[in-house]
Amino acid sequence: MTTKQNSTRLTSPQQWGFIVLRILIGWHFLYEGIVKLLDPNWSAESFLTGSQGFLSGAFQWMASQPAVLEVVNILNIWGLILIGLGLFLGFFARTAVYAGILLLFFYYIAYPPFQGFNFGVPQEGHYLFVNKNFIELMALVVLALFPQTLNIGLWSLLRRLGLRISLPVPKRSKNPGPATASAGSPEGSKSRRDMLKHLAFLPFLGGFAWAFMSNKEYGKTDAISGGTITLNQKSLKELEGEIPKGSLGGSKNVSRLIMGCNLIGGWAHARDLQYASQLFKAYNTEKKVFETLILAEKAGINTMNVCTLEQQDLINRYKKMFGSNLQTMIQAKPTKEDLYANIDKAIDMGVDIIQIFGATGDRWAQSGDTDLLQKCIDHTKRQGYPVGMGAHDIHAFYACDQAGIDVDFYFKTMHHDRYWSATPKEKRVPYMVAGSTSEHKEAYHDNMWCMFPEETVNYVEKSKKPVVGYKVLAGGAIPAEEAFQYAFDNGADFICVGMFDFQIVEDANLAIRTIKKAGNRKRPWYG
């Protein structure tokens, strides 16, 4: 027996174990490739965009270049399929092993499982240095060290297990042409027979592919890995244009649709539905928040309203991790005990725009402490930051005007009262949103944030400052298109809206449309 024959003969159960391992890894690669091929919405963009670690810049650059991304998508899909076929069938398996090692290495370094770099990768546990990609990579390295396990396909394995499959082999012609190594020699005939044995399982693979296609939803994922981070890329392609931008404070290029903070923070304003806030928090995990912000920026929303310093810290981590330029406008919450601490802390944390929290504006205006509001605004201006006045109640702005307070912009609730749960007009009193009472009939029901919509519209139409309308949906009571149009038609220059990830592209398109339709509104655009 020749040395070559000895090198390919399997003599131990361990070697058969290596072959089984190779076939299983091949099936995993093949299945991943087929699923991506059959899913018309699949793209590597979200995986590349979310990359972390020392080479994240290169991966994110690939995602930002449409032509490069298209090549990456093709190479990824067909690389998985061809590598999987090679490993599964034992056909060009050596090449498939080395190609698989290279592909898994790229997957590994895109999301290295190191301390501080494992955010955003959905996991069922915790990883440090070793994850599933690394384990599969090392398994292929081991297989590469035993080349005798690479030439035996699934056919031979089944025969070894005692299964007998009859395969017709074409008979040689009685009058063959000139003998060649590939056509007439025994080696050539054996090679053809081996190839046919390997290819005999292609119908088997086709049957599996058909079965999966007939009963699976390919837009979803089965496994938990870095590659399962997905964004609705198809919806991004449906954007109807660019969201117009304006200025708050004279120096900021702000999208006229601003991302709100309540949905991310879990403030549902769901009236009697006490569980809704917990549902919001359960859905908007830190990973989901980051995916939402990625999608928002891709849709042209470049500014977010931030409710708390804790949220600003979350946004800072997002910006550092993904190289984002997202601007933040924080709701400053000064206290009478320390007027400037919250403002100074926000500035230290890197906010871009500051507005006095609406509830603080309401309460201090109601109590006659407009001098404290003036001090906070002056303190912010001295440090060179745009500052706005926030309020739910229009009477707070009346009080500030009477006190001569000058701000860069207004942050005001703006929605109509034509929805079933709105507080009846005869029950509305000034500063109702800011207070509460134990009397059910007179209590604030967390169902209305612009108690005097007509007065608000009159005030906004006369204002010479940019106005950001918020709570325009009345806590989800008013349809988005209707709410956006009402706010822009009645003088809002920007609107701040809380959005789940699946609403972002639709809201971006609504903003583009409603701004165009509001072109003939009474009040000129400010900012």
How many domains does one find in the chain? Answer: 2
How does pLDDT run across 215-260, given as a tens digit for each residue?
Answer: 555 555 555 444 444 544 446 778 899 999 999 886 679 999 999 9
Amino acid letter for position 185: S
Note whether residue 176 is domain-resident: no
Return the CA Rg of the chain: 32
The residue that leads in pLDDT, 464 or 45, is 464
Query: Residue 369 has which token pair?
Result: 């402490």
Is 192 or 365 the better-scoring residue by pLDDT? Answer: 365
**pLDDT tens digits for range 47-57:** 887 777 778 77
Residues 272 and 207 in one domain: no
- Are the C-beta atoms of residues 30 and 208 closer than 8 Å to each other? no
Q: In sequence order, which residues have a C-beta less than 8 Å from that of residue 287 and are 6 or more positions away? A: 119, 120, 122, 229
Higher-pLDDT residue of 142, 225? 142
What's the sign of the alpha-carbon dihedral 418, 422, 426, 428? negative
- Mean pLDDT lowest for which of 168-182, 191-205, 373-387, 432-446? 168-182
Band (157; pLDDT cuts 50, 70, 90): low
DSSP 130: B
pLDDT of residue 446: 82
The answer to whether residue 514 scores a pLDDT higher than 80 is yes
- Pair 427, 483 in one domain: yes
Identify whether 6 is part of a domain. Answer: no
Verify that 265 and 160 share a domain, yes or no. Answer: no
| pLDDT (0 to 100) of residue 112 | 82
Question: Does the pLDDT value for residue 203 go beyond 60?
Answer: no
Q: Which pair of structure tokens corresponds to residue 424?
A: 């009846």
Does residue 224 sit in the same domain as residue 344? no
* pLDDT recorded at residue 88: 85
Q: What is the structure's pLDDT at 493?
A: 97
Say what the pLDDT of residue 65 is. 83
In a shared domain, residues 482 and 381 = yes
> Can you give the CATH number for the domain in which 273 is found?
3.20.20.100
Largest CA distance in the chain: 111
Q: Compute the average pLDDT of residues 335-363.
A: 95
Phi and psi torsions of 91, nearest 5°: -110, 115
Average pLDDT for the chain: 81
| Mean pLDDT of the region 182-193 | 52
Which residue is listed with tokens 């292609």?
A: 202
pLDDT tens digits, one per residue of 105-127 = 998 888 887 755 544 444 555 66
- Whole-angstrom distance, CA of residue 248 vs CA of residue 389: 12
Examine the domain organization and report whether 33 and 71 are in the same domain: yes
Domain span at 273: 256-520
Same domain, yes or no: 220 and 340 = no
Same domain, 419 and 486: yes
pLDDT at 461 over 50: yes
The answer on 280 and 223 residing in a single domain is no
Average pLDDT rounded to a whole number, residues 350-362: 94
- Check residue 436 and give its pLDDT: 53
C-alpha distances in Å from residue 518, one per residue of 24, 390, 481, 484, 510 = 60, 24, 12, 10, 12
Is 408 domain-assigned? yes
HEC sequence for 30-71: HHHHHHHHHCCCCCCHHHHHCCCCCCHHHHHHHHHCHHHHHH
Identify the residue with better confidence: 390 or 1: 390
The answer, yes or no, to whether residue 1 has pLDDT greater than 50, is: no
| Residue, of 151 and 98, whose pLDDT is higher | 98
**Per-residue confidence band for 310, with pLDDT thresholds at 50, 70 and 90:** very high
pLDDT above 90: percentage of residues in the chain? 45
According to the model, what pLDDT value does residue 10 have?
Answer: 46
Q: Tokens in use for 33?
A: 């490739």
Average pLDDT over residues 186-194: 54
Closest among 364, 293, 360 to 331, alpha carbons compared: 360
The answer on pLDDT for 164 being more than 80 is no
State the pLDDT at residue 440.
Answer: 60
Same domain, yes or no, for 219 and 264?
no
pLDDT of residue 2: 41
Report pLDDT for 324. Answer: 86
Q: What is the mean pLDDT of residues 80-99?
A: 88
CA distance 189 to 525: 81
Same domain, 480 and 397: yes
State percent of the chain over pLDDT 70.
76
Angle, CA of 102, 108 and 111, to the nearest 5°: 145
* This prediction's pTM: 0.68
- Which pLDDT score, from 0 to 100, does residue 260 have? 95
In a domain, 221, yes or no: yes
* Co-location of 141 and 194 in the same domain: yes
State yes or no: pLDDT of 201 exceeds 70: no
- 393 is a domain residue: yes
Res 323: pLDDT: 78
Nearest CA-CA partner of 286 in 259, 317, 262:
317
Please say if the pLDDT value at position 130 is more than 90: no
Contact 328, 351 (CB under 8 A): yes
**Counting beta carbons within 10 angstroms of the beta carbon of residue 460, is it exposed (0 to 12), middle (13 to 18) or buried (19 or more)?**
buried
**Across residues 323-347, what is the average pLDDT?**
94
pLDDT reported for residue 468? 97
> How much is the pLDDT for 181?
45
Strand 467-470 relative to strand 494-497, pairing: parallel
Is a pLDDT exceeding 50 seen at residue 467?
yes
Structure tokens belonging to residue 435? 């207070």
The pLDDT value recorded for residue 57 is 78
Virtual torsion, Cα 173, 177, 180, 185, nearest 10 deg: 30
Within a domain: 224: yes
**Residue 137: inside a domain:** yes
Residue 233 lies in a domain: no
Higher pLDDT, 264 or 152: 264
Report pLDDT digits (tens) over 18-31: 788 888 898 899 98
Whether the Cβ atoms of residue 230 and residue 46 lie closer than 8 Å to each other: yes
Q: Give the SS3 label for residue 327.
A: strand
E strand or H helix that includes residue 246: strand 245-246
